[in-house]
């Protein structure tokens, strides 16, 4: 009886009926970190965009944006809500990444972070000044209201490309992410855009959309290294030995700016390193931007740091840099006594941003 009623009911009811399994929050597919690009005809490759993962659900004028953690994002990106409403298709579910283009043709993660603000007036201002785009890489329900979760990625990609051709613009707010089955092209993405791209994603073309699982998707980072001045350090939680090194790079004005940290110090080396560092304690440590001090938000005294004379240089491995800082913690590779501190400049973090936007054209 229910099936008969759905068959004769209006399109809105049928859409809701078919999207019961796609009601938000919907846990997106996750990716397993691997060191090498997987090879084989069953793999599809895509750029790994450095933004906010977002599932978009539209039913008529109702638009929902959901983060990877299941939180609503619509209030932070009103320009994307309007862009979704402007699509001719009245019903669909998309999986993608929210990003904010910067002036150099790359993307600004710092601009994204500024959007998570409680003041609606502030969000409205930023939406006008630095509008976001949604880079779409999967179609979970099509314009007919049909769930595609059970289809293989190869089938979903074909339908996504048809959807994009009919409804998305290469220069609009909603853009199709490129994809390829060619390993050579995946390697080119990783090498050419690796300075600003977060890496690449490999997905199994022969599997369905596996919500919340990591078996059908892998991510490969493009790691780089930089020589940095040790401008300070923090003690470990027990306060006895060094816990992390604070890293700095010199800008064109000759100021040493804090750019990140590394805590991957071998345990057996920490006592002797602590003695060495304590002999170099001397303010200011950093002459440009400096690490934040203790506060009720960052753990109080445990977050205090000791300034050092700019004498020591280390080489660290990092996966991504934005806004003149390492996005994540780094891995200590080696000490560089052969390098002078003044050789450690911000130029090491410079990127060719224009390569990223070209991938969307």
SS3 47: strand
Which residues are paired to 289 by β-bridges? none
The verdict on whether 48 is a catalytic residue reads yes
CA dist 310 and 254 (Å) reads 12
The 3-state DSSP class for residue 270 equals helix
Rounded CA gap, 278 and 180, in Å?
Answer: 52
The bridge status of strand 217-220 relative to strand 32-33 is parallel
Rounded to 10°, the helix 120-129/78-85 angle is 60
| Dist CA 28 CA 53 (whole Å) | 9
Residue 18 phi/psi, 5-degree rounding, is -80, -20
User: Among the options 48, 171, 237, 352, which is catalytic?
Assistant: 48
No. of H helices and E strands in the chain? 9, 17
The two tokens of residue 169 are: 């613009």
Q: Residue length, the chain?
A: 361
Which three-class secondary structure state does DSSP give residue 110? helix
Interstrand relation of 52-59 and 91-99 (parallel, antiparallel or unpaired): antiparallel
The token pair that represents 23 in the structure block = 């009601």
DSSP strands (E only) in the chain: 32-33, 43-47, 52-59, 62-67, 91-99, 133-141, 174-176, 200-204, 217-220, 224-235, 242-250, 256-262, 306-307, 313-318, 321-322, 325-326, 331-335
Catalytic residues: 48
């Amino acid at each position: 009886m229910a099936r008969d009623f759905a068959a004769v009911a209006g399109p809105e009811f049928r859409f809701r009926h078919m999207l019961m399994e796609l009601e938000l929050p919907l846990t997106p597919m996750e990716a397993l970190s691997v060191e090498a690009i997987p090879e084989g005809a069953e793999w599809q490759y895509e750029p790994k965009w450095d933004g906010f993962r977002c599932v978009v659900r539209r039913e008529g004028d109702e638009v929902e944006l959901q983060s990877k953690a299941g939180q609503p994002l619509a209030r932070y990106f009103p320009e994307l809500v309007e862009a979704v409403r402007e699509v001719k298709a009245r019903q669909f579910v998309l999986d993608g990444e929210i990003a904010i283009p910067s002036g150099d043709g790359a993307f600004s993660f710092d601009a994204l972070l500024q959007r998570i603000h409680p003041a609606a007036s502030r969000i409205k201002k930023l939406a006008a000044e630095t509008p976001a785009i949604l880079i779409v890489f999967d179609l979970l329900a099509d314009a007919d209201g049909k769930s595609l979760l059970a289809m293989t990625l190869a089938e979903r990609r074909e339908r996504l490309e048809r959807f994009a051709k009919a409804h998305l613009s290469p220069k609009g707010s909603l853009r199709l992410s490129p994809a390829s089955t060619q390993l050579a092209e995946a390697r080119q993405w990783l090498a050419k855009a690796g300075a600003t791209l977060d890496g690449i994603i490999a997905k199994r073309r022969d599997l369905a959309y596996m919500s919340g699982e990591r078996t059908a998707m892998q991510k490969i980072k493009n790691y780089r290294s930089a020589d940095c001045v040790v401008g300070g350090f923090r003690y470990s939680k027990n306060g006895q030995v060094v816990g992390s090194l604070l890293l700095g790079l010199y800008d064109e004005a000759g100021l040493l700016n804090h750019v990140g940290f590394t805590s991957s110090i071998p345990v057996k080396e920490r006592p002797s390193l602590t003695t060495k560092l304590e002999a170099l304690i001397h303010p200011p440590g950093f002459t440009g931007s400096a690490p934040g001090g203790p506060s009720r938000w960052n753990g109080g005294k445990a977050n205090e740091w000791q300034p050092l004379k700019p004498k020591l240089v280390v080489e660290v491995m990092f996966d991504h840099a934005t806004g003149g800082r390492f996005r994540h913690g780094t891995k200590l590779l080696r000490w560089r006594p052969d390098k002078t501190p003044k050789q450690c400049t911000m130029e090491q973090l410079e990127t060719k941003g224009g390569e990223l936007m070209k991938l969307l054209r």
